[in-house]
Structure 1
């Protein structure tokens, strides 16, 4: 187990749902193998009572349930990592705001893909989307089983966010003892460009250029992580769809929040959004503005 000097914790959003407990299990394994603290956070939304104030009894009951969820999450974390000592925290207010604030000093923030309307929602949920777009640390959205075999899959397109995703993916594969599947996707050339007909030789040259791009992006990292087996894939098609396809047999997919196919004004690219909605495995999103 690696022990870090930094106090940055793995932070998990807890809302009492089964999906949140899946996130806790994933985060507990992550904290244990990295020698980091595990912080379980629940944010209690204000009650929409309009002009009526909730009774003291109701306030006490909601408070009790919130602490029950946190303690159940702590038990679930210890089931996965018995030597771990989870910390619990109950905040008041909006869950997104609470987790974004916690991300400022977090190693990463982990949430489930769906829940009771607190930290997660339908599909990936507005909380997961907002966190992936605005958090100060990487965000992991746990979809499906928290423990899966298979490789760590990373999307590579040469953008700044993609470079950070590649760095994190190599580190993750090294820590987990997994192989790395580096995927670069490109759109096939049309039959005509600028009124000029393209033949098969043009397409072969274009594909060779994409293979060179992927090799250049991987070169330094493979020297830094010589024990990580790397498989390179250059595929044609739609980036999001191909990465969703590869996620089917992956333990984790790592992507940048915005790649070369995104617009500068968007905080979360279409590829990241598609994976958060459709990947059957956990998705780790890294933004180029983040600390890590």
Structure 2
């Protein structure tokens, strides 16, 4: 219990660059800091030094108006934005970023800084995407993707905590498919073949059992889907306030290497998405 109280005092850090997407991230982060009762830290970083006082002042005013009870601080750093944010993330509850920065392409593409931070940070990274209804909690649902093994343990914990502080329900999604080149014994369906190894429903039950005991107030439903994970998660996220996915470290590499599913949901999710590293 003592460790959890200490963790909750860590600030929520939001990156700002003056773009509309980063201001939407400030709004989301201010609400999130209020929910978790943690300080909010605004960070602007750029390799080329310039006067960012007006930019920071405008973002600070916006955050203070949105969440007046939240303790607010700001800082301007003259260094590469992605590196600065990753460094700040070592002592943060989470990093919050806009989906596109200044000069970013319109549409569904994710900004390069947000993608780089999501791939390297030690803490959860939230990329604020979607329309107003998704960014302001109108669906009352957090969705979490559950993998087999240990890749999504921290992500499931994060999702439960989010559902708890929001007072909303949690939907856990696990996908599976028949291994390529392994048709199995004659007469067995795809689901039965998967069950020879480990039943998908058991994967979900094992992943949820611990967090369900720690957060008994969170209503939980689960969904097992045969097919591609990215499509199942994007479908579930269409009626969600937050999508949570895990990210595993690749052996022999520095930092996280985001997989295909991470990339797909970061670029195309209709709601804010949290990438939670499994450290």
Say yes or no: TM over 0.5. yes
Deviation per CA, 1:126-164, whole angstroms, max 9, x where unpaired? 211111111121100000232132210000113323011
Q: 1:263 to 1:231 in 2, by over 3 A?
A: farther
Q: 1:95 to 1:215 in 2, by over 3 A?
A: same
Paired position in structure 2 for 1:86: 72
Paired position in structure 2 for 1:67: 53
Q: How does 1:148-187 map to 2 (within 5 A)?
A: 148-150=137-139, 151-187=141-177
Q: 1:122 to 1:92 in 2, by over 3 A?
A: farther
1:130 equivalent in alignment to 2:130: no
Deviation per CA, 1:174-232, whole angstroms, max 9, x where unpaired? 011110000000114679626x43434x6346368111221122122212211100011
- TM-score normalised according to structure 1 size: 0.83
The answer to whether the 8 A contact 1:188-1:237 is kept is no
Unmatched tracts of structure 1, length 5 or more = 48-61
1:143 equivalent in alignment to 2:125: no
Paired position in structure 1 for 2:229: 239
- TM-score normalised according to structure 2 size: 0.86
SS of residue matched to 1:199: coil
The answer to whether the 8 A contact 2:46-2:78 is kept is yes
The answer to whether the 8 A contact 2:43-2:74 is kept is yes
Paired position in structure 1 for 2:13: 11
1:203 equivalent in alignment to 2:191: yes
Q: How does 1:184-263 map to 2 (within 5 A)?
A: 184-188=174-178, 193=183, 196-200=185-189, 203-204=191-192, 206=194, 209-258=199-248
The answer to whether the 8 A contact 1:258-1:272 is kept is no
SS of residue matched to 1:197: coil
**C-alpha separation between the residues in 2 aligned to 1:79 and 1:216?**
42
Tell me the matched-pair count: 266
**C-alpha separation between the residues in 2 aligned to 1:100 and 1:190?**
38
Paired position in structure 2 for 1:51: none
**C-alpha separation between the residues in 2 aligned to 1:24 and 1:154?**
23
Structure having the higher Rg: 1
Paired position in structure 2 for 1:96: 82
Unmatched tracts of structure 2, length 5 or more = none
SS of residue matched to 1:286: strand
Deviation at 1:237, TM superposition (A): 0.6
**C-alpha separation between the residues in 1 aligned to 2:112 and 2:186?**
46
Paired position in structure 2 for 1:280: 270
Identify the range of structure 1 (144-153 vs 167-176) with the bigger mean alpha-carbon deviation: 144-153
What is the RMSD of the two structures over their aligned residues, measured on CA atoms?
A: 2.7
**C-alpha separation between the residues in 2 aligned to 1:95 and 1:190?**
41
Deviation at 1:121, TM superposition (A): 11
